[in-house]
Amino acid sequence: MKRRTRPAGTEPTSGPLRRSLPLLLQTLLVAALALPAGFAVAPAFLGPRTPASAEHTVPPWHQVPGALTPDGTVDGVETLSATAPLPVPAALAAQLNETLKTDGAGSFTGVVQDAATGEVLFDRSGDAARVPASNMKLLTAAAALSTLGPDHRFSTRAVAGTAPGSVVLTGGGDVLLGAGESVPGAVLGRAGLASLAQATVRALQDDGVSVPVTVLLDDSLFTGPALNPAWSLEDVAAGEVAPLFPLALNSARYDPAQTTGPRPQDAAMTAAEAFSAELAAAAATAGLTVAPGVARIPAGTADGAEPDTGAARVLAEVKSATVGQQVDLMLRTSDNYLTEVIGRLAAVAAGKPASNDGAVAVVLQQLEELGIPAGTLRAADVSGLALANQVSARQLADVVRAITSGADTRLRAALPGFPVAGLTGTLGDRYLDAASARGAGLVRAKTGTLNTVISLSGYVVDADGRLLVFSFIGNGLTPGAANKAALDRTASVLAACGCR
């Protein structure tokens, strides 16, 4: 069963407007990526002042911004006016009903809200439970940021085993490990197994180890089935997801540059074997040898635990990118594997089992704590790959509003991850035709695509300077029909609408 029409995170294809407006879109991208830093205070959206030469009919928040300042903000930005007029619901509905039409079978539901007040401006069966596809990741992002916090990092450790010379590679949740040396400025590959191996050899030298070194693997952090039974085996075979482990290279990809195709079915062992190879290379320069092969420690054992403390002695460790950075990558590329892992790690932080059930439970709990009723929500996973998920457009719009304007400012860390229309992530090759060009560079939204399902939930500033949040979900659609274009046109209406 085909789930995507293009690889997540690949470069957008060319289009008629890309050829005519490349410089404008690139400049808008600078603004789009810089503006989220200003979301710390509700309504928490920034827009640039109008240059003296600009047309007065173009709103200042839709102007091409000035240069970046040394601190990374946009030169000359100021907060939007809190007195900006709201769209009139009837006028808004008249425009949205013209664009929110299916191509073939199925139907769309949708909700548009004012971000500052929560007032519902458009509601088409907004409380109806629908299959959300990857819009489910918005719920997981909010849960992870509110439980783990945006600055949290995960450790991958090499600890001393009980046998002389034994080293236990212990997974702490980082599935974005790199095979080489650590790259501090990166998200994928910030923690490198080569750096971990080199530090481990130095620790072994300090301990006076002279016997051959043996490598063991402890990947016991997660519990329950590594594969969710709600997932299609065809999706697993295609590499949309894979068995989940608390450590992996490249988000369980063979090659960091390849984001499609089959994944390793034992990502933890793949990482452990890469570590063993790096350890052997580092050990050779120190006059040590590493025995071939890696053995997995059975779950429930504690090889290397100190008798007095019960904790293993750490020889070396490397730390991941922050949760905020990982959430951004997760949303921008719509990576199912990374999302499911982050869900399990959020469950651990909330004192729940590190399983699919625990991940689902923490997502539902965090929604309730954000004041978003979750009684009608049904979750079979936390990435949106399962067709058994049921979420309403209102619940998704409420989550976006919590991220942009809610009281818990930790959720603001998710904002840079929203794909930008026509520019980044899973929206990079959309909004390139005349019908949706008004939203290019302005609409920021999470996409969702399954065979008969599409969804789009995000935020945009309208032509009057009002920050709006929205969610549109299509179910029962004709596979391959032009329904993404309908959602893009609809979100573009919001960007251009004064609607009075």
Catalytic machinery residues:
134, 137, 334
First to last CA, the chain: 44
SS3 state of residue 488: helix
Which residue in 494, 500, 417 sits closest to 110, CA to CA?
494
* Distant-in-sequence contacts of 94-98, Cβ < 8 A, 24+ apart: 95/493, 95/497, 95/499, 96/122, 96/124, 96/490, 96/493
- Give the max Cα distance, the chain: 79
Other residues' Cβ atoms within 10 Å of the Cβ of residue 173: 26
Which residue in 325, 343, 329 sits closest to 382, CA to CA?
343
Report which DSSP code applies to 500: -
How many separate helices (H) and strands (E) can be counted in the chain? 12, 12
Structure tokens at 269: 């062992």
Non-local CB neighbours of 343 within 8 Å, separated by 6+ positions? 140, 143, 144, 356, 359, 360, 362, 363, 382, 383
SS3 state of residue 153: coil
Query: Identity (one letter) of the amino acid at 309?
Result: T
Q: What is the DSSP string of 382-407?
A: SSS-STT-BB-HHHHHHHHHHHHHSS
